[in-house]
Amino acid sequence: MSPPTASTPQPSAEPPPPSCHALKLLKDQTALVTGASSGIGRAIAIALGQAGANVVINFFGQPDKALEVAEEVRRCGTRAITVPADVSDPQQVRVMFERTVDEFGGLDILVNNAGVQLDAAFEDLTLHQWQRVMDVNLTGPFLCAQEAVRLFTKQGVKPALSCAAGKIICISSVHEVIPWAGHVNYAASKGGLMLLMKSLAQEVAPRRIRVNSIAPGAIRTPINTAAWSTREACNDLLKLIPQKRIGEAEEIGRAAVWLASDQSDYVHGITLFVDGGMTLYPGFETGG
């Protein structure tokens, strides 16, 4: 594959719209969000921009959508670039980090968001479906976190920006703990991601690098359209959610801003479930 090219950053021409957060918790920090051209990654990129961060928008095959996200981030008064990369390819990941450092001089926040679902009944699951999900959902976060840890370690703490040398947030899933029939590869990848996150958090804590996960429940995005786009599917889904509503990507964006900020400095190696109560065994709602 030829090396990825990237768009050039452009300063924002317009003042931030009123919707941008007044509290710039991430002012002047730089964040890289993988798979940021759609869904949860898009919402996280915009929320980080609203909180004052410059944002590297990684995308895979959706350049126009990535450019739109960059435009929205710039409207918040911060800088944004778009960088194509397949997170499962070590060479492309390395180039993406080099591009980030060239453009912004360093990195403060990595959000490992890119993920795929390739579903099949277990006996029909192909090696390709198994491998691709592992490559994107587990090897991708490994490769990106490794580049980020090397960079954070080299940079050290920059007290004017944050009391941490760097923050890594993995976008996991409620399926890091809830088994999921027909989605064995996906659940295994997210279960693996949980222990990648926790083991890494333990290892790099002395270097003031914070590592945590967010586990979304059912969020309205392209990955799960089939689960909410018909009335019947939606009703079935709502039975699994005590709050009886589907979550919105912006709710994950707000959680990511908090986890990336010094407000959560003592939060380390945890999974923050943002799921409307999906992990509360909803089958027992009526007493079981």
Contact 249, 219 (CB under 8 A): yes
The one segment of 37-45, 75-83, 142-150, 231-239 that binds ligand NAD by CB under 6 A: 37-45
Closest CA to 257 of 12, 52, 105, 22: 52
Q: Is 186 a catalytic residue?
A: yes
Minimum Å distance from CB 173 to ligand NAD? Answer: 4
Closest CA to 168 of 134, 117, 202, 191: 202
Residues 39-98 that bind ligand NAD (CB under 6 A): 39-41, 58, 60, 62, 86-88
Tokens for 226?
Answer: 């089939």
Residues 129-148 that bind ligand NAD (CB under 6 A): 136
* Cα dist from 39 to 1, 94, 107, whole Å: 26, 24, 23
Q: Which of 59, 97, 152, 186 is catalytic?
A: 186
Contact 33, 166 (CB under 8 A): no
Site string for ligand NAD, 216-235 (x = CB under 6 A): x-xx-xxxx-----------
Nearer to ligand NAD, 37 or 162 (CB): 37
Contact 216, 252 (CB under 8 A): yes
Establish if 34 lies at the interface with ligand NAD (CB under 6 A).
Answer: yes
Burial of 214 (0-12, 13-18, 19+ CB in 10 A): buried
Residue positions annotated with a catalytic role: 186
* Binding site residues, ligand NAD, CB under 6 A: 34-35, 37-41, 58, 60, 62, 86-88, 113-116, 136, 171, 173, 216, 218-219, 221-224
